[in-house]
């Protein structure tokens, strides 16, 4: 009987230890699976947020680009109107009688139109570059 008692005393702790290890392993596996699922959801949420931010930036750049293109066109039209008004149809200045002041005034206006036009052209190109970069980011996010 003593042997049976010793055997039981020896086997019970071993059984409890085995059960504890198996139970702990199952709990750990469940926790890992839940953590992976949570991480996946967080990554998807971050991607969604990034896409929304890119779309917002694209919209803002689109509006800015449209405004810039309109202003660039207006400057070119003003410059054309100025040339037509100052030079007339045959290329001879309309106000030949006051030549000195006329030429200085004309050159100054020409330069102002040129600078304005250059500004809007550079701005348009910059906005278009940013828009392209945002499109690339969108593609990268979709491939993730």
Q: How far apart are CA 61 and CA 55, in angstroms?
A: 10
Over residues 57-84, mean pLDDT: 82
For 90, which DSSP code? S
Between 47 and 144, residue with greater pLDDT: 47
What is the 3-state composition of the chain as percent helix, strand, coil, each rounded to the nearest 5? 95, 0, 5
Q: Which residue has the tokens 């309109």?
A: 70
Q: Which residue has the tokens 């993730």?
A: 144
pLDDT grade for 33, boundaries at 50, 70 and 90: confident
**Residue 87: predicted pLDDT:** 63
The mean pLDDT of the chain is 78
Over residues 96-101, mean pLDDT: 51
For 97, which DSSP code? G
Vertex 68: Cα angle to 48 and 129 (nearest 5): 50
Between 89 and 70, residue with greater pLDDT: 70
Q: How far apart are CA 128 and CA 61, in angstroms?
A: 8
pLDDT grade for 86, boundaries at 50, 70 and 90: low
Residue 96 has pLDDT above 60, yes or no: no
| Prediction pTM value | 0.50
């Amino acid at each position: 009987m003593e042997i049976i008692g010793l055997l039981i005393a020896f086997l019970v702790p071993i059984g409890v230890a085995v059960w504890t290890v198996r139970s702990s392993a199952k709990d750990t596996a469940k926790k890992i699976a839940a953590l992976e699922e949570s991480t996946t959801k967080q990554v998807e949420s971050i991607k969604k947020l990034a896409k929304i931010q890119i779309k917002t930036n694209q919209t803002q750049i689109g509006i800015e680009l449209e405004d810039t293109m309109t202003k660039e066109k207006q400057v070119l039209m003003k410059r054309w109107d100025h040339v037509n008004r100052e030079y007339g149809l045959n290329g001879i200045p309309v106000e030949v009688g006051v030549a000195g002041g006329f030429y200085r005034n004309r050159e100054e206006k020409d330069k102002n139109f040129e600078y304005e036009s250059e500004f809007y052209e550079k701005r348009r190109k910059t906005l278009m570059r940013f828009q392209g970069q945002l499109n690339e980011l969108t593609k990268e996010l979709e491939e993730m």
